[in-house]
Amino acid sequence: MIPKTMQAMVLEAIGQPLVMKTLSVPVPDENQVLVKIIACGVCRTDLHIIDGELTAPKLPLIPGHEIVARVIKTGKKTSSVKTGEIIGIPWLSYTCGKCRYCLRGQENLCEKALFTGYTIDGGYAEYAVADERYCFPLQSQYANASGAPLLCAGLIGYRSYTMTSDRVKSLGIYGFGAAAHILIQLAIHQDKRIFAFTRDGDIEAQKFALELGAVWAGDASQLPPEKMDAAIIFAPVGNLVPKALSDTNKGGIVVCGGIHMSDIPSFPYSLLWEERILRSVANLTRKDGEDFFKLASQVSIHTQIKTYSLHQANDALNDLRSGKVHGAAVLVMDNSD
């Protein structure tokens, strides 16, 4: 029996704490599924939305886009997702399939895209609806709270990683949080040497990176012991861009892996010269998800999570903001089976 109401943590005004509300359980349209949420990751993008750094959220809004859930009802035209299946729901939630970007395989840049927990309601709730096209089946080891960080930290980290080159042997990761602790496992499995850069003085994060196999870990302001072939920046700090460029070899690739970053300061052309490449990552594609989850099962990626109940969402966000979470924060629903 599907209840008529649910509990949800709602953003009613930019810059304000989330508010616990009793809302109607959403009804799926013909192309959607209704899910009972098991867990939802707490992502730095959620902070960017709440703080107004991403400027076009729907309000009021239920945040959250790293959703692990069980399908409990399907729309009339759905076919690929079945009732009872446990699925993952990511940031990208809808694309038109008709614009120039969709037609050339760049659905992540769709002109009419919708985003979970930003332009449609997300996973800080007991129930949600999702377009069946953007639901990923989850293997049993990820069909629980541990799988939640894979739906954004894992997927965006993987897309960032694919934007480096197969020739890369040494990789710098700036900002050692949820995405980094997933990506390092995949990169080491593929014989990459990892250099981890953390916020100043974060000894615990540096220790965590070394435990996961990094060959070096230090503050982001420090020089690595050698220049690297590529770098991925997960920290939303613009001044890390010239720093990362200066830390890479000739032909090096620097990827900005976040959805928001503070302004990048001017830097001399000499940092970009010698065919260094600077690029950004926008969203994800379904193929990213298919490829990543296949690799995740082969590597047996382990996520380190800190769990919170739904009503503790503001605590989770504050802990993430202050750097108290090493790994990923995840909301676990009180009503999960």
Dihedral angle sign, alpha carbons of residues 297, 300, 301, 305: positive
Look at domain 5-150+303-332 and name its CATH class: alpha beta
Q: Tens digits of per-residue pLDDT, 90-145?
A: 999 999 999 999 999 999 999 999 999 999 999 999 999 999 999 999 999 999 99
Please state, in angstroms and rounded to a whole number, the distance separating the CA atoms of residues 132 and 142.
19
Predicted local distance difference test score (pLDDT) of residue 282: 95
Encode pLDDT of 56-101 as tens digits: 999 999 999 999 999 999 999 999 999 999 999 999 999 999 999 9
Q: What is the pLDDT of residue 297?
A: 86
- Fold agreement between 5-150+303-332 and 164-280: no
Binned at pLDDT 50, 70 and 90, residue 148 comes out as very high
In the chain, % of residues over pLDDT 70? 99
* Dist. CA 27–CA 202, nearest whole Å: 45
Q: Are 68 and 141 in contact (CB under 8 A)?
A: no
Whether domain 164-280 has CATH 3.40.50.300: the reply is: no
Of the candidates 48, 148, 152, 45, the residue with the CA atom closest to the CA atom of residue 90: 152
| Token pair 């449609």 in the structure block, residue | 120
**What are the pLDDT digits (tens) for 181-196?**
999 999 999 999 999 9
Q: Average pLDDT, stretch 239-264?
A: 97
Q: How far apart are CA 238 and CA 253, in angstroms?
A: 16
Confidence of residue 336 (pLDDT cuts 50, 70, 90): very low
Query: Where in the chain are the domains?
Result: 5-150+303-332, 164-280
pLDDT band, very low/low/confident/very high, at 337 (cuts 50, 70, 90): very low
Give the pLDDT confidence score for residue 335 in this predicted structure.
55
Contacts (Cβ under 8 Å, ≥6 apart) of 82: 71, 74
* Residue 146, pLDDT score: 96
Tokens in use for 63? 């945040």
Mean pLDDT of 216-236: 97
- Asked if the peptide bond before residue 60 counts as cis, ω within 30 degrees of 0, the response is yes
The length of the chain is 337
Cα dist. 186→7, 91, 166, 221, 297 in Å? Answer: 36, 21, 13, 25, 11
Q: Give the mean pLDDT of the chain.
A: 96
Secondary element (H or E) of residue 172: strand 170-174
Alpha-carbon distances of 117 from 5, 93, 127, 189, 228, rounded to whole Å: 19, 9, 13, 32, 36
127/7 Cα distance (integer angstroms): 8
pLDDT tens column, 267-303: 999 999 999 999 999 999 999 999 999 999 899 999 9
Share of the chain above pLDDT 90, in %: 96
